[in-house]
Structure 1
Amino acid sequence: MFRRADLRLAAAGAVLLAATSLMPGWLLVLAATALAKGIVALGLLLLMRAGLVPFGQAMFYCLGGYAAGLGSLWLGIRDVLLLLLLAGLAAGAAGWVVGLLIRRYRGIFFAMLSMAFSMILYGVLLKSQDLGSSDGFSVPRPTLLGLTMTGTPALRILFAVTVLLTVLLAWGVSAYLRTAMGQIGPAIRQNEVRVSYLGYEPDRLIHREYAASGLLAGVAGALVAMLVGQVDPGMGFWMTSGEFVFIAILAGTGGIWGSLGAAFILEAVHAIAFDVAPTYWRLILGGTLLVMILRFPAGLSSLAPRRVRRA
């Protein structure tokens, strides 16, 4: 049975889909990018509830983008759904392998080790001439169920796919957080030893959630790659990971709405600041978000009604 929060999420998705035909191309790209980054923030939510802050999610975001691009160019896969599946599996598998090592660490060691893996990927891609080096390569427009997409209609279809996928993944994360395993995360943050005495293995749970967060980031990276038609090593740079962490901190750990809302706010402020002051947009962006964090130290999730937070 769907909860009210799930129905509200479906209603928000329906509103976005209804507005698709009215939105110009630049707004479609902006909104779809915000939704994709919100998907990454959903993965970070799983880890942050356990007290872990990874600074290497850009690695999976980049892997997803490159998997979509290479799947189209090298494997001949053109369908958007198959490319998203390929990107999610590639990033999820990478998260599972890296998680075998990283799941034993906590605190700053977890954060720095995850960033180290991301920077290794960035360095490899930067030196790879076959993959375009620092310039990356272009990603051709995908198809949808055999339908060729070009121009603005392609952006509208990709935006609709992004909205539907975001709603489905948000439902999945929300359902997981209501399970027994999903509720162990905050217990691990409070007292990991007691969780072990209860019969649960914190390392195994963190491993699964780390792999799941990698899968979500990979799907998001593939969406952005197909939207902008380009991938480059910058997708795996540490500043990209920092942006995701910033979204997660701004969102808080109260639920999925904060993650999606924070991603939209960050993209909107970024676009407006760059348009108003191209030279000082970073100063405007940083100052605005600093004020928001000081105003809402518990994140945007703290704005939810009290009865929702209790639930």
Structure 2
Amino acid sequence: MLVRFLVFIGSATALLLGMVAPWTKTPAIVSLSFGLAALGVGVLMRAGQISFGHALYACISGYAVAFLARAWPELDALALIIGGTSASLCVGAVVGLFVVRYRGIFFGMLNLAVCMVLYSLIGKLYTWTGGTDGLRIVRPHLAGVEFDRNEFETALLVLSLLLSIGLGWLVQRYFRSASGEAMAGIKTNETRLEYLGLSPRRILWQGYMLSVALVGLSGALFALIQGLVTPDMGSWLRSGEYVFIIILGGAGHAFGAFLGATVFEIVKLYAGAYMTGIWQMLLGSTLILVILAAPDGIVGLMSRRKATSTPPTTKEARWNRWFARKG
């Protein structure tokens, strides 16, 4: 109930601020896109695996959107989002077959290695990718309607909110499903899954594909709101930001990714404006404080406070309250 209330308040606040202060729409969409990417990383953390190279799929999706928009200028933004996400899924299906064989630091570093190979190629292949200058994306139609910049940002914000709420709910359902519990089993006791006749590699590959889809969707949204794609979308620093966000918000609940992304974007925005020289230090200090105060992230801290503030509802507790009233 608390999460639903926070989601409602957050969505209403984002829309209201977008109408009152139009400049807030871009940071809001970027925050939602980062939240989707962090949620993808959080899916893998469910299995105890951390990827330091998942920005690879946001970058692939972003460049796929740029290539499609240049080749077919009449394509709708929805088609571009689907095309970009599909491109990242195709690459992720192949890469995932190899990386799911490994665990721990080897899993994380192998993802990082693949990511950095693509990052280097994009910077070198100037003829196709524009090198470090990147590629510009002309603002497309959205749902068959041609918008000006302000209207396009509003429509994209609404679309991002709907996608974030819907996918967040689906991922949370996935966490509670048999497949999600099997993913958690990889973290706790992988051998037991094999005794049950389940394939840990197959389970992890399925989770990996879900993770890739979320990060790919994030890259497509980010490319559309920025109107520009650059190799920095696939840098290891961007992958680190995704990990930072999910640790900050908490991987125990899907809402944690979006809460962490919101805090991250707010701190980054205002620290960059008023503390230009030390904004990285402020972000790092924020993460350290959260880890010390709430190892399970902001969502974990909220859950613990709710648990301590909620009175017991067991049969014994009800009898104790009844006797207390009678006494």
- Which band: TM-score by shorter chain? over 0.9
Instruction: Report the CA distance between 1:225 and its aligned residue.
Output: 0.8
SS of the residue aligned with 1:182?
helix
Instruction: Report the CA distance between 1:9 and its aligned residue.
Output: 6.8
1:214 aligns with 212
In structure 2, the CA distance between the partners of 1:17 and 1:255, relative to structure 1 (3 Å rule), is same
Aligned partner of 1:68 among 57, 62, 65: 65
Instruction: Calculate percent identity across the aligned residue pairs.
Output: 36
- Unpaired runs of 5+ in structure 1? none
1:267 aligns with 265
1:40 aligns with 37
Instruction: Report the CA distance between 1:6 and its aligned residue.
Output: 7.7
- Unpaired runs of 5+ in structure 2? 308-327
2:100 aligns with 103
Aligned residues: CA RMSD: 1.9
Structure-to-structure mapping, 1:1-311, within 5 angstroms: 4=1, 7-8=4-5, 11-12=8-9, 15-16=12-13, 18-19=15-16, 21-129=18-126, 130-306=128-304
Contact 1:13–1:167 (CA under 8 A) maintained in structure 2: no
Counterpart amino acid of residue 166 in structure 1? S
Counterpart amino acid of residue 114 in structure 2? F
Contact 1:17–1:160 (CA under 8 A) maintained in structure 2: no
Contact 1:6–1:171 (CA under 8 A) maintained in structure 2: no
* Deviation string, structure 1 residues 257-277 (Cα, Å, up to 9, x no partner): 211100100111001110012
In structure 2, the CA distance between the partners of 1:53 and 1:13, relative to structure 1 (3 Å rule), is same
Counterpart amino acid of residue 217 in structure 1? V
Contact 1:9–1:167 (CA under 8 A) maintained in structure 2: no
Contact 2:17–2:24 (CA under 8 A) maintained in structure 1: no
* Deviation string, structure 1 residues 31-74 (Cα, Å, up to 9, x no partner): 11111111011111111010000011100011111111111111
In structure 2, the CA distance between the partners of 1:23 and 1:33, relative to structure 1 (3 Å rule), is farther
2:315 aligns with none
Instruction: Report the CA distance between 1:199 and its aligned residue.
Output: 1.7
Contact 2:244–2:287 (CA under 8 A) maintained in structure 1: no
d(CA) in 2 for partners of 1:289, 1:6: 22
Counterpart amino acid of residue 105 in structure 2? I
In structure 2, the CA distance between the partners of 1:194 and 1:8, relative to structure 1 (3 Å rule), is same
Count of aligned pairs between the two proteins: 306
d(CA) in 1 for partners of 2:301, 2:3: 18
Counterpart amino acid of residue 299 in structure 1? G
Contact 2:49–2:107 (CA under 8 A) maintained in structure 1: yes
Instruction: Report the CA distance between 1:158 and its aligned residue.
Output: 1.1
Contact 2:142–2:152 (CA under 8 A) maintained in structure 1: no
In structure 2, the CA distance between the partners of 1:283 and 1:21, relative to structure 1 (3 Å rule), is closer
Larger Rg: 2
Instruction: Report the CA distance between 1:8 and its aligned residue.
Output: 4.1
SS of the residue aligned with 2:87?
helix
Instruction: Report the CA distance between 1:75 and its aligned residue.
Output: 3.1
SS of the residue aligned with 1:19?
helix
Instruction: Report the CA distance between 1:26 and its aligned residue.
Output: 2.5
Counterpart amino acid of residue 102 in structure 1? V
Moved more, 290-299 or 193-202: 290-299
Instruction: Report the CA distance between 1:306 and its aligned residue.
Output: 5.0
Instruction: Report the CA distance between 1:77 and its aligned residue.
Output: 5.0
TM (normalized to structure 2)?
0.88
d(CA) in 1 for partners of 2:3, 2:75: 32
d(CA) in 1 for partners of 2:74, 2:64: 11
In structure 2, the CA distance between the partners of 1:258 and 1:66, relative to structure 1 (3 Å rule), is same
Counterpart amino acid of residue 252 in structure 1? G
TM (normalized to structure 1)?
0.93
Instruction: Report the CA distance between 1:78 and its aligned residue.
Output: 2.9
